[in-house]
Amino acid sequence: MSEQNETLLQVIDLKIGIPHPRRETLIIVDNANFDVRSGEMVGIVGESGSGKTMVCRSIIGTLERRGAKVLGGQVLFGGQDLAQISETNWKKLRGKSIGYVPQSALAGPNPVLTTQQQLAEALRRSEAPGTIAEQSRRLLDLVKIRRVDTVMKQYPNQLSGGMRQRVMIACALASNPKLLIADEPTTGLDVTVQSQIMQLLQEIRADFGTSIILISHDLALIDDVCDRVVVMHAGATVEVGSVTEMVNPKHPYTLALNQSRIDIAVPGSELVTILGNAPSVGEWNPGCRFVERCTFKEEDCKVGSHPPLFGERGSHQSACLHRDKLKG
């Protein structure tokens, strides 16, 4: 499995901010660090507002559309720094080497296009053999849509949530990308549909060796399908490790997340919750940004800048100064 170990994407010390003409630039992501190896499924977990979607936007180059900018760090993909390349170069990459499945299945597809038209648009730049119609059929087969002829002529409002998400995945797969980013692909869908979509993603990975980044706030879901987990809190990566390593977390935030899982809770027992809320963007405190909610905090946590990830890149890393306290 030498191919497994090849690093496909490296996010290094990424810093993203929203510039403002009069006020100070608002920093929304700082210290984002993780790798994606080829053929690997990586889960990014974090609360709403932790910056997980913004990091992914920097990987597909749609930050600027939201007024945000990469202010520092690197996003290395196949030897190129995605933070530096021009829009023309983006057009060669986006949708071809990197596919994206947006968050909301219900708002994702264009409502005035039929499935066929939607796919045709995605296939416009495809270099694969065959006509667009043939390729569309192949894609719909790939995402396990059975009534291909009917679905081709249908508009998004005629499709169920699960079907719409399948169509979106088909579009993202149009040019056989090396990396697929799925941003909370199953939010708002039933658990049964969710498990089907997850199965589909795993099959795609197995069949094509596609690397997948799965964003979710459901740790249990990530546990089921991913190889490695990236935990984000208030714009920073606080822990990175394999799913098995994460059973014994080295960061208090991950520990708390693990304990708040209901699938391992005893029915009726008190669930562990995380104190307070994550600090809002623009209101980050000095030192560790988790300190206000942390049960392991000490005085040195409250000063300086946010701690970096300790440990060797690629191993089980944590951004906690007192990570040794969590052992055992």
Partner 1 sequence: MSTNIIEARDICVTFGTGSHKVEAVKNVSLTLAAGEPLGIVGESGSGKSTLARVLAGLQTPTSGQVYFNGEPLYKGHRSYTGEARRQVQMVFQDPYASLNPQLTALSAVSEAVRIHNKCSKSEADVKALELLRQMGIAQLDAVKKPRQLSGGQRQRVSVARALSANPSILLADEPTSAIDQSAQAQLLNLFRGLLHQGLAIVLVSHDLGVIRYLTKRVYVMKDGVFVESGDTEEIFNHPQQAYTQELLASIPGALGAAVRNQKHAS
Q: Which residues bind partner 1 (CB under 8 A)?
A: 47-49, 160-161, 187-188, 190-195, 198, 217-221, 223-224, 256-257, 260-265, 267-268, 270-274, 277
Please list, residue by residue across 93-116, b when 16 or more beta carbons sit within 10 angstroms of its beta carbon and e when fewer do: bbbbbbbbbbbebeebbeeeebbb
| Residue closer to partner 1, measured from CB, 105 or 151 | 105
| Residue closer to partner 1, measured from CB, 101 or 255 | 255
Helices (H), the chain: 2-5, 52-60, 87-93, 115-123, 132-142, 148-153, 161-172, 191-208, 219-225, 252-259
Shortest separation between residue 127's beta carbon and partner 1, angstroms? 37
Shortest separation between residue 258's beta carbon and partner 1, angstroms? 10
Chain centroid to CA 93: 18
Angle at 306 between CA 77 and CA 79, to 5 degrees: 10
Shortest separation between residue 291's beta carbon and partner 1, angstroms? 17
Residues 6+ apart with CB under 8 A from 281: 26, 27, 28, 49, 235
Shortest separation between residue 198's beta carbon and partner 1, angstroms? 8
Shortest separation between residue 241's beta carbon and partner 1, angstroms? 17
Strand partners, 317: 240
| Residue closer to partner 1, measured from CB, 50 or 126 | 50
At residue 236, φ and ψ (nearest 5 deg) are -120, 150
Residue 302: count other Cβ atoms within 10 Å of its Cβ.
Answer: 13
Cα(305)–Cα(29) distance, integer angstroms: 14
Shortest separation between residue 176's beta carbon and partner 1, angstroms? 28
| Residue closer to partner 1, measured from CB, 179 or 256 | 256
| Residue closer to partner 1, measured from CB, 128 or 271 | 271
| Residue closer to partner 1, measured from CB, 4 or 160 | 160
